[in-house]
Amino acid sequence: MAEEEEESELSEKQKVEIAKWFLLNSPPGEIQYVAKDVKSILNDDGLFNEAASEAFPLYNKSHLIVLSMPGRSGDVLVTSFGELEDNAFLDPRTAQVAIVDHVKQVCTEVRPALDEELPSAYIEEFRCSLDAEIIKYVEEAYPKGVCSVYCVNGKDAEGPGSDFELAIVISAARHSPQNFCNGSWCSIWNIDFKDEQQTVEVKGKLQVGAHYFEEGNVQLDAKHECKDATLFQAPEDCALALSSIIRHHETEYLASLEASYLNLPDSTFKDLRRKLPVTRTLFPWHNTLQFSLSRDISKELGIGK
């Protein structure tokens, strides 16, 4: 018996991997609650710290969490687009770099961004114009939403004749654990400026996550991708055209989600249940006393004869 118990015992590496899985699959805004339970189950600070140190940075970046910078100097989005080092993230709007404690999910300090960490004046003109338009859109569309525009390729371009790429990140969350529900909206738009073709290619990835857990456990994880394009114009004109494209696609996707919710009772929920059992006859829910599991088992096994 002792040998069987030893064989079934998980290794430390397996325990860490399982702990990481639970942490990474935490619903929006709930990783701290999950971490508390995982730490209690592991009952080993060393293993928990190893799992947390690997899982929290990945979770924070995938969920695009927003952290307040010290001194009320603004908010910073924790995203791979602004990541300079393991725990340093650029806020392009304020030209500051936030130092983040991933596990505690707080911003511990802020420093000015270095010149080499910022795009050229030519790229910054496009980035700032687009940032201004996206701020207007987010303020209208997402309560407490936060956005940022990053230069992810070609940031050293000094003028026309070069290609470059910007990324727009929008994050909006509503956490209400006291009401047993949490939700988040994340959208990432890659904007590829092609100078030779005089076009701007747009690729969007949208994700909605929600968790409702009052007397149950219902989760939503919906994803959507889309593409579009516009002309390569002056910074202000490009910003207006791109914000219009983003507004159109996100509004259209949200409308499709709402339409699917309205059809849930008549479509999805019905499909979750077998219309007829394998006997091809409806189960008599009104008279379940006629069935006896123990009697049927005894009959099949020949017990009691």
CATH number for the domain spanning 20: value is: 3.30.1140.60
pLDDT exceeds cutoff 50 at 273: yes
Are both 54 and 100 inside the same structural domain?
no
Give CA angle at 250 (257, 57), nearest 5°.
90
Are both 53 and 112 inside the same structural domain?
no
Return d(Cα 168, Cα 112) in angstroms, integer. 22
Across 42-66, average pLDDT: 95
205 part of a folded domain: yes
Are both 56 and 184 inside the same structural domain?
no
Are both 144 and 225 inside the same structural domain?
yes
Residue 42 is part of which domain span?
10-62
109 part of a folded domain: yes
- According to the model, what pLDDT value does residue 215 have? 77
Are both 110 and 155 inside the same structural domain?
no
279 part of a folded domain: no
112 part of a folded domain: yes
Q: pTM here?
A: 0.82
Instruction: List the structure tokens of 219.
Output: 């989760």
pLDDT tens-place string over residues 132-174? 999 999 999 998 899 999 999 999 999 899 999 999 999 999 8
Task: Name 193's Cβ contacts closer than 8 Å, sequence gap at least 6.
Answer: 126, 154, 163, 164, 165, 166, 200, 232, 238
pLDDT exceeds cutoff 70 at 271: no
Are both 112 and 131 inside the same structural domain?
no
Are both 178 and 228 inside the same structural domain?
yes
Secondary structure element (H or E) that encloses residue 192, with its range? strand 181-194
Are both 245 and 123 inside the same structural domain?
yes
Is the backbone of residue 290 left (phi > 0), alpha (psi -120 to 50) or beta?
alpha
CATH number, domain with residue 166:
3.90.1150.210
Count the Cβ atoms, other than its own, within 10 Å of residue 152: 16
Are both 50 and 76 inside the same structural domain?
no
Residue 56 sits at φ, ψ, to 5 deg, of -60, -45
Cα separation values, 280 from 275, 276, 292, Å: 9, 5, 20
Contact between 200 and 230 (Cβ < 8 Å) = yes
Predicted confidence band of residue 71 (pLDDT cuts 50, 70, 90): confident
Among residues 201, 199, 200, 202, the alpha carbon closest in space to that of 189 is found at: 202
Return d(Cα 91, Cα 146) in angstroms, integer. 12
Answer with the one of 83, 116, 149 that is the final residue of a domain: 116
Answer with the one of 62, 81, 105 that is the final residue of a domain: 62
Are both 68 and 54 inside the same structural domain?
no
282 part of a folded domain: no
295 part of a folded domain: no
299 part of a folded domain: no
The total domain count for the chain is: 3
5 part of a folded domain: no
Are both 168 and 217 inside the same structural domain?
yes
Are both 238 and 125 inside the same structural domain?
yes
Residue listed under structure tokens 């304020």: 94
pLDDT tens-place string over residues 97-131? 999 999 999 999 999 999 999 999 999 999 999 99
pLDDT tens-place string over residues 75-96? 999 999 999 987 999 999 999 9
